[in-house]
Amino acid sequence: MTRTQRWDAIVIGAGIVGAACARALAMDGLAVLVLESGFTGGSTTAAAMGHLVAMDDSPAQLALTALSLALWRDLAVELPAAVEYDACGTLWIAEDDAQMEMVRLKQQTYRDAGIACEQVLGAAALSALEPNLRSGLAGALLVPGDGVIYPPSAAVWLLAQAMARGCVVRERCRVDEIADQSVRCGDEWLHAHVIVNAAGGGAVALTPSLPIVPRKGHLAITDRYPGFVRHQLVELGYLASAHEMSSESVAFNVQPRATGQVLIGSSRELVGWDASTNRRVLREMLDRAQRFMPALRDTSIVRTWRGFRPATVDKLPLIGRWEPTAGVWIAAGHEGLGITTSLGTARLIADMVMGRTPAFDVSAFAPNRALPAAEVAA
Amino acid sequence: MSATGALVTMAIDGREVRVSAGISVAAAMLDAGVIAFRRSVNGSDRGPLCGMGVCYECRVTIDDVAHRRACLVMVADGLRVSTHACRPERSEGPA
Q: How far is A310 from chain B (nearest CA, A)?
A: 26
Summarised one tens digit per residue, pLDDT across range B9-35 is 999 999 999 999 999 999 999 999 999
- Long-range contacts, B43-51 (Cβ 8 Å, 24+): B43/B91, B51/B24, B51/B26
| Mean pLDDT within A167-181 | 97
- CATH no. of A87-146+212-311: 3.30.9.10
CATH class of A6-47+151-211+314-365: alpha beta
Decide if pLDDT at A125 tops 50. yes
Lowest-confidence segment of A61-70, A189-198, A219-228, B82-91 by average pLDDT:
B82-91
| Residue contact A259–B66, C-beta within 8 A | no
Residues in A closer than 8 angstroms to B87, CB to CB, are 226
Paired sense of beta strands B80-82 and A51-52, if any: unpaired
Q: What is the pLDDT of residue B20?
A: 95
Across chain A, mean pLDDT equals 95
CA distances A233 to A36, A114, A159, A256, A338, Å, are 33, 22, 30, 9, 19
* Cα four-point dihedral sign A255, A258, A260, A261: negative
Q: What is the pLDDT of residue B3?
A: 53
| Residue contact A223–B65, C-beta within 8 A | no
Q: What is the pLDDT of residue B94?
A: 37
| Mean pLDDT within A68-89 | 97
Q: Is residue B63 part of a domain?
A: yes
The residue segments making up the domain with residue B19 are 7-82
Q: What is the pLDDT of residue A4?
A: 60
| Residue contact A259–B67, C-beta within 8 A | no
Decide if pLDDT at B93 tops 60. no
Residue A165: Cβ within 10 Å count: 16
Q: How far apart are CA A191 and CA A209, in angstroms?
A: 22
- Phi and psi at B45, nearest 5°, equal -70, 140
Any CB–CB contact under 8 A between A79 and chain B? no
Q: Is residue B28 part of a domain?
A: yes
Q: Is residue B94 part of a domain?
A: no
- CATH number for the domain spanning B40: value is 3.10.20.440
Report the residue from A81, A223, A226 with minimal CB separation from B92. Answer: A81
Q: What is the pLDDT of residue A378?
A: 40
Any CB–CB contact under 8 A between A300 and chain B? yes
- Which of A219, A259, A303 is most worth mutating to test chain B (most B CB atoms within 10 A of its CB)? A259
Decide if pLDDT at B85 tops 80. no
| Mean pLDDT within A105-115 | 94
Question: Which residues of B3-79 form beta strands (DSSP E)?
Answer: 7-12, 15-20, 38-39, 45-46, 59-62, 65-69
CA distances B12 to A63, A86, A240, B5, B61, Å, are 55, 34, 49, 21, 10
Residues in B closer than 8 angstroms to A298, CB to CB, are 65
| Mean pLDDT within A38-65 | 96
| Residue contact B92–A84, C-beta within 8 A | yes
Going from N- to C-terminal start, the domains of chain A cover 6-47+151-211+314-365, 87-146+212-311
Report the residue from B67, B89, B93 with minimal CB separation from A223. Answer: B67
Q: What is the pLDDT of residue A148?
A: 98
Decide if pLDDT at A123 tops 50. yes
Decide if pLDDT at A199 tops 50. yes
Q: How far is A183 from chain B (nearest CA, A)?
A: 35
Report the residue from A223, A227, A258 with minimal CB separation from B93. Answer: A258
Residue of A2, A18, A1, A23 lying closest to A332 (CA atoms): A18
- Indicate the residue type of A197: N
CA distances B93 to A162, A213, B90, Å, are 23, 32, 8
Q: Which of the two residues, A247 and A26, has the higher pLDDT score? A: A26
Q: Taking an 8 Å Cβ-Cβ cutoff, which residues of chain B contact chain A?
A: 41, 59, 65-67, 86-90, 92-94
| Residue contact B93–A224, C-beta within 8 A | no
Paired sense of beta strands A168-170 and A139-143, if any: unpaired
Q: Is residue B73 part of a domain?
A: yes
Decide if pLDDT at A376 tops 80. no
Helix (H/G/I), strand (E/B), else coil: A291: helix
ipTM of this model? Answer: 0.75
| Mean pLDDT within B64-84 | 94
Q: Is residue B38 part of a domain?
A: yes
Residue B32: Cβ within 10 Å count: 15
Domain count, chain B: 1
Q: Is residue B33 part of a domain?
A: yes
